[in-house]
Amino acid sequence: MDFLDRGRDHVLALFRVVVGGLFVIHGVKTLFGVLGAKAAVPFTTWPSGWAAVIQVVCGGLVVLGLGTRGAALLASGSMAYAYFVVHQPQGLLPIENGGETSTLFAWAFVLIAFTGPGVWALDNVVAARRTETRVPQPA
pLDDT score, position 137: 67
Q: Per the structure, how many domains does the chain have?
A: 1
Of 9 and 78, more confident? 78
pTM: 0.86
In a domain, 73, yes or no: yes
Is the bond leading into 42 cis (omega within 30 degrees of zero)?
Answer: no
> What is the Cα–Cα distance from 77 to 79, expressed in whole angstroms?
5
User: Is residue 1's pLDDT more than 80?
Assistant: no
Of 122 and 130, more confident? 122
In a domain, 138, yes or no: no
In a domain, 32, yes or no: yes
pLDDT tens digit string along 71-93? 999 999 999 999 999 999 999 89
Of 118 and 138, more confident? 118
User: Is residue 138's pLDDT more than 80?
Assistant: no
pLDDT score, position 32: 86
Structural domain boundaries, residue 86? 2-131
In a domain, 123, yes or no: yes
In a domain, 136, yes or no: no
pLDDT tens digit string along 14-58? 999 999 999 999 999 999 888 887 888 887 888 888 999 999 999
pLDDT score, position 127: 83
> What is the Cα–Cα distance from 41 to 48, expressed in whole angstroms?
7
pLDDT score, position 134: 59
> What residue spans of the chain are helical by DSSP H?
2-6, 8-32, 48-64, 68-81, 94-97, 100-115, 122-131
